[in-house]
Structure 1
Amino acid sequence: MTLSPSPLEETSEARATASPLTRIGEARWILLTALLAAGSAVFAYQVPVTAAVAAMAALTFAAAFVPRRSASRRVKFNAQREVRRMWPGTGMKVTVDALPTPCFVADGRGIIRYVNTQAQTLYSGVKPGSPLSFFLRAPSLLEAFDRVCATGGTERINWTERVPTETWYEAHIAPIYMPGSDARDRPHGLPDFILVVIQDLTENRRLERTRTDFVANASHELRTPLASLTGFIETIQGAAKNDPEAQDRFLSIMLDQARRMRRLIDDILSLSRIELKAHVRPENKLDLTDIVRHTSDALSPLAAEMKVEIRMDMPEKPVEVKGDRDELIQVAENLVENALKYGGSGKYVDLSLAEQRGADGGRLWVLSVRDYGEGIPREHLPRLTERFYRVDTDSSRAMKGTGLGLAIVKHIVTRHRGRLDIESEPGEGATFKVTLPAIQEPADVSGPSTA
């Protein structure tokens, strides 16, 4: 990048190209002093006039033509310091590049002097020499930038952007004063540089909102059975104190409510345990066929009660994946139980395992659970895995659902580096597909065969 010469550099060049008469004029007081000294020497010490004239001539020649090296070096040093103040040095650039967040280094006028790689990735087209306001257009951020320039303090501000999606950002703005710089050399007293660090808070805000919603929903779900238990206990202690028939009926309802609370607490604890180890991928080798058959056998009494037939389509060879057996059994049981409860009107639930190839050529296993019930309206599909989300609240509670089953399934599948897909059309049932990476055999390392 080409830089225009600073005022100090222009002064240095002007002095280097000044005429002899101009230089003699600048040194006039030195020459006048030397002339008086020469005159005194002639009259007081009888120094020959020719010698005095020769000395004055030599001194005048030196003033007119010999460069002033000390002044030139000082001007050059000042010019270099001015350039360093205008553009960040290598040390500052290396430091900014090492930061994991987008960073801008601007001067006091709001002109970008350097940006790190993260900022270039987030803000396309950003480059040194452009105004900061071209890329960071939040009014609160620009106002904070002006305050830092004026006061020399630091600022921390937050703002939200709505387009294309809702995102939250935080900016830390601080002045930078270069070592050895003089406030008198800065235009209008501005800092040498302003550092702007951008932090994306979107994920943290969404997690915070999720936790808040979860606590509110869990409290609401627990409050209902607790209110029922309290009411029935008070009734048994009061009006139904001597009514054995009413007591038996109320105790049966109380038992159902207590079981509902236990299921809810178990699901909350299960979800919490899964979240704690979400970043740890399971490494145990297991066969999905055994898990599906185990699930079918475990839920056969419920299927018989609902008058639904479970049909299975399993491959003959082992379906090997890396996973946690208990968690994958929980996935299969939740999906099959939902199919039996909410799609049992179709009289059949199909379980199948099929092999697929991923986009990178790797082998995948897909577990499909399909029912032939009423189906799910399309507008509900994106939210089915949200905690406590129900398509029909009354139906879900009547089926003793907690509203956490599919949320647990999603978290387990994510931990196994898999994917959960839901397909449904009203009147045509619903299909839940869990895709898990297969254990790659040596022949799979180079991808699928082209033969």
Structure 2
Amino acid sequence: MNSEGVHLLEHLQTPAMMIARGQVRFANAAAQSLLGAHIVGQDVRIAIREPRAVATILSQEGGRAQVKGLSTGGSMWEVDCKIIGPHERLVSLYDLSERISVAKSHADFVANASHELRTPLASVIGYCETLMNPKAGNDEALRNRFLGTIRHEAQRMQSLISDLMSLSRIEAVKHEVPSDTVDMVALAHEVAGEFRDGAKVAVRENCREALVAGDRGQLSQVLRNLIDNSRKYARPDGPVEVAVEAASTGWVLVTVRDEGEGIPPEHLPRVTERFYRADTSRSRAVGGTGLGLSIVKHIVERHRGRFDLESRPGRGTTASLMLPLRKD
């Protein structure tokens, strides 16, 4: 390859190497960053040390191969080898890790969603079939109990579908930075006022207003989800506190705190994953879909903020989000 070709390869972000007679004659900066600067001048079998990749590079026809672990243990790469001369080969390396991870994530998401819908649907079908039996259908007390269960399971499916649609809408606009002006103090009072039954929801603030650039509907959903979570898992009639604090650093901190049972520390890193539940049986009993905190996390990230959970078993949980204050 001439000097112009080498110059072009050097400016590629894709790792690329020139192999001549089984030896690495040139590697651009991306390839050296991936495999090490020492590979230039080495035998390709020592430079790469991956049998499938080496076999593809040294074959007479060239071609492509997918190999694992060129960068990290779980990474997946495509090795593309093109013959450009009697003894010369151009090798390009493409990182497939993110694409494969996204595909797996989507497959897991569909599988989990199907499972979450299948369970209540099976209950609905089973109870309906029982009620179609004249002996069960004519027993008023039994019929009412079964109809109550059917209604409960149907509401579970309705909540799940609503959350799935909400998550889909959020992901569709996740790259669009919100631009409306939202007062987090006023919004906290408004959303807290929606919860008038059960646990008391109190709001405190250190400022008259805290203006952020945001999507009012989505930020309302964040507060609603966090307060609802706290109410579900707080001790009976226990307090739930929402605090809004504007800091001189240019951020507003919003926290939602309860005095419930808390979350075991081993579950904290995963509670924002879709469908993950720290307590599966209790979550389903109180109507949880396993998507609430995932929705919160996605919305906060869209607002260029930070979301965190602190919890101690027996002492309660504090959910906090930091959002940048609007600059005039």
Measured against the shorter chain, the TM-score band is over 0.9
Write the mapping of 1:96-111 to structure 2, written as runs, cut at 5 A. Answer: 96-110=9-23
- List per-residue Cα deviations over 1:311-330 (Å, max 9, x = no partner): 22213232111111111111
Matches of 1:278 and 1:300, distance apart in 2 = 32
Partner of 2:259: 372
1:351: how far off? 1.2
2:27 corresponds, among 101, 115, 120, to 115
Partner of 1:436: 323
Write the mapping of 1:167-186 to structure 2, written as runs, cut at 5 A. Answer: 167-177=75-85
Matched letter for residue 104 of structure 1:
M
Q: Are 2:35 and 2:71, in contact at CA under 8 Å, matched by a contact in 1?
A: no
With the length of structure 2 as denominator, give the TM-score of the two structures. 0.92
- List per-residue Cα deviations over 1:74-133 (Å, max 9, x = no partner): xxxxxxxxxxxxxx42321233234331111221222x2222232233344356434444
Partner of 2:139: 243
1:164: how far off? 5.1
- List per-residue Cα deviations over 1:190-243 (Å, max 9, x = no partner): 42x211111111111111111111111111111111111111111111132322
Q: Are 1:345 and 1:374, in contact at CA under 8 Å, matched by a contact in 2?
A: no
Distance 1:356 1:172, change over 3 A: farther
Higher strand proportion: 2
Distance 1:245 1:346, change over 3 A: closer
Matched letter for residue 28 of structure 2:
N
- List per-residue Cα deviations over 1:283-327 (Å, max 9, x = no partner): 2121111221121011232xxx2xx22222213232111111111
1:356: how far off? 4.4
Distance 1:346 1:145, change over 3 A: farther
Q: Are 1:353 and 1:366, in contact at CA under 8 Å, matched by a contact in 2?
A: yes
1:402: how far off? 0.4
Q: Are 2:263 and 2:313, in contact at CA under 8 Å, matched by a contact in 1?
A: yes
- Count of paired positions: 327
1:339 corresponds, among 230, 235, 238, to 230
Distance 1:161 1:374, change over 3 A: same
Q: Are 1:339 and 1:369, in contact at CA under 8 Å, matched by a contact in 2?
A: yes
Partner of 1:156: 64
Partner of 2:165: 269
1:92 aligns with 2:5: yes
Which protein has greater RCO, CA pairs closer than 8 Å, 6+ apart?
A: 2
Quote the sequence identity (%).
Answer: 37
Partner SS state of residue 210, structure 1: helix
Higher helix proportion: 1
- List per-residue Cα deviations over 1:140-173 (Å, max 9, x = no partner): 11121111xxx1x232111222985522211111
Q: Are 2:34 and 2:71, in contact at CA under 8 Å, matched by a contact in 1?
A: no
1:244: how far off? 2.7
Partner SS state of residue 248, structure 1: helix
Q: Are 2:226 and 2:319, in contact at CA under 8 Å, matched by a contact in 1?
A: yes
Partner of 2:241: 350
Write the mapping of 1:186-197 to structure 2, written as runs, cut at 5 A. Answer: 190-191=86-87, 193-197=88-92
CA RMSD of aligned residues (A): 2.1
Distance 1:257 1:280, change over 3 A: same
Partner of 2:208: 317
Matches of 2:31 and 2:71, distance apart in 1 = 18
